[in-house]
């Protein structure tokens, strides 16, 4: 574990992801304003945590980056679409994201809505254009698309956003808060890990273990987001802090306090690491990412 260099792993994987995204949305091939808006929100200093997790999960079961890189990029597009739509005036009304003006500020509302729609649709175009190695792989790709669509859909991420909006200004209990996060961010994080494992030819048992890992780091990631919204550095993060409190949003710090929230996140990471005991050292990237989930500054 100590010998694994997460920084250089993240650097190299992010580079691969960003280069592939660049190739997919080649600005020069289409001068449409919607493509500019898609690129505006997609290209830049994102953490790329979902695609990295997809690649790392594939590796943990013996797969190669090349086999899942397109899935990884599709996941980032779905995540980015959700950010664009969540930032809209009708929803969270945010003006800063990834260190840049949000999409509807840089362009306009209509373009931002359509750019989000286009990224979501492009994700499924990418997933269905992957050339399957054989006919068994075609079945696996259908399962990958189904897994991602379910996670992103009205029983997953979208329901989380609906519940999140409905909760604004209300004082939630821990259970309701957890439900929102499991849906809003947990579902797609879990799908990222599972689809990497599916296409990496993971066994049923491996995928079950990875689900436990995913659920725990997904929640730990969100608790840390809540903590960073209180005590993070907005310059490092590229987005505003203190926004949760300003909106009277229920968060882990607002319910548990900062210290207990950190303890809670640490326990979740320990659970995730325990689920990885089933795997060999090919899962070192996943191990390191589990620690990173709570140690990150942005």
Residue 227 phi/psi, 5-degree rounding, is -65, -45
Which position among 42, 49, 103, 145 is part of the footprint of a second copy (CB under 8 A)? 145
Q: How far is the CB of 201 from a second copy (least distance, A)?
A: 17
The answer to whether 127 touches 74, Cβ cutoff 8 Å, is yes
* Helices within the chain (DSSP H only): 6-24, 33-42, 49-60, 65-86, 103-106, 109-129, 135-152, 157-167, 174-181, 187-199, 204-231, 234-237, 243-246, 252-256, 258-275, 284-295
In this structure, what DSSP letter does residue 5 have? -
Count of positions on this chain that bind a second copy (CB under 8 A): 50
Residue 66 phi/psi, 5-degree rounding, is -55, -35
Residue 122 sits in the site that holds a second copy (CB under 8 A): yes
Q: How far is the CB of 218 from a second copy (least distance, A)?
A: 19
Which position among 12, 27, 64, 121 is part of the footprint of a second copy (CB under 8 A)? 121
Give Rg (Cα) of the chain: 18
Residue 236 sits in the site that holds a second copy (CB under 8 A): no
Site for a second copy in 101-120 (CB under 8 A): 108-111, 113-114, 116-118, 120
Q: How far is the CB of 282 from a second copy (least distance, A)?
A: 28
Place of tokens 């730990």: 220
Considering only 64-72, 130-138, 243-251, 264-272, which stretch makes contact with a second copy by CB under 8 A? Answer: 130-138
DSSP-derived 3-state class of residue 202: coil
Considering only 49-57, 145-153, 220-228, 240-248, which stretch makes contact with a second copy by CB under 8 A? Answer: 145-153
Which position among 27, 45, 66, 139 is part of the footprint of a second copy (CB under 8 A)? 139
Quick one: how far is CA 43 from the chain centroid? 15
The answer to whether 52 touches 18, Cβ cutoff 8 Å, is no
The residues near 270 (Cβ < 8 Å, ≥ 6 apart) are none
Residue 167 sits in the site that holds a second copy (CB under 8 A): no
Site for a second copy in 6-35 (CB under 8 A): 30, 32-35
Q: Which residues bind a second copy (CB under 8 A)?
A: 30, 32-35, 38, 81, 85, 88, 90-91, 108-111, 113-114, 116-118, 120-122, 124-125, 127-129, 132, 135-136, 138-139, 141-143, 145-146, 149-150, 152-155, 158-159, 161-162, 165-166
């Amino acid at each position: 574990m100590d010998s694994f260099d997460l920084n250089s792993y993240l650097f190299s994987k992010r580079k691969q992801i960003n280069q592939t995204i660049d190739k997919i949305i080649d600005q020069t091939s289409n001068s449409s304003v919607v493509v500019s808006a898609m690129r505006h929100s997609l290209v830049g200093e994102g953490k790329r945590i979902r695609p990295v997790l997809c690649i790392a999960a594939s590796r943990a079961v013996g797969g190669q980056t090349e086999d899942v890189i397109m899935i990884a990029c599709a996941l980032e597009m779905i995540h980015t679409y959700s950010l664009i739509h969540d930032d809209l005036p009708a929803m969270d009304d945010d003006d800063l994201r990834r260190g840049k003006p949000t999409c509807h500020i840089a362009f306009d509302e209509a373009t931002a809505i359509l750019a989000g729609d286009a990224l979501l649709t492009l994700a499924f175009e990418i997933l269905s254009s992957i050339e399957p190695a054989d006919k068994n792989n075609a079945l696996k790709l259908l399962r990958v698309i189904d897994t991602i669509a379910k996670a992103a859909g009205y029983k997953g991420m979208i329901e989380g956003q609906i519940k999140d909006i409905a909760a604004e200004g209300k004082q939630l209990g821990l259970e309701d808060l957890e439900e929102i996060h499991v849906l809003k961010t947990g579902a797609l994080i879990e799908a990222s890990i599972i689809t990497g494992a599916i296409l990496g030819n993971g066994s049923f048992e491996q995928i079950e273990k990875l689900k436990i890992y995913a659920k725990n780091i997904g929640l730990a990631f969100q608790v840390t987001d809540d903590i960073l919204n209180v005590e993070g550095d907005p310059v490092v993060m590229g987005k505003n802090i203190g926004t949760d409190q300003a909106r009277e949003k229920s968060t882990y710090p607002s319910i548990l306090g900062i210290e207990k929230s950190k303890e809670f996140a640490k326990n979740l990471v320990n659970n995730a690491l325990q689920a990885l005991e089933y795997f060999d050292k090919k899962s070192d990237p996943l191990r390191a990412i589990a620690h990173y989930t709570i140690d990150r500054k942005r």
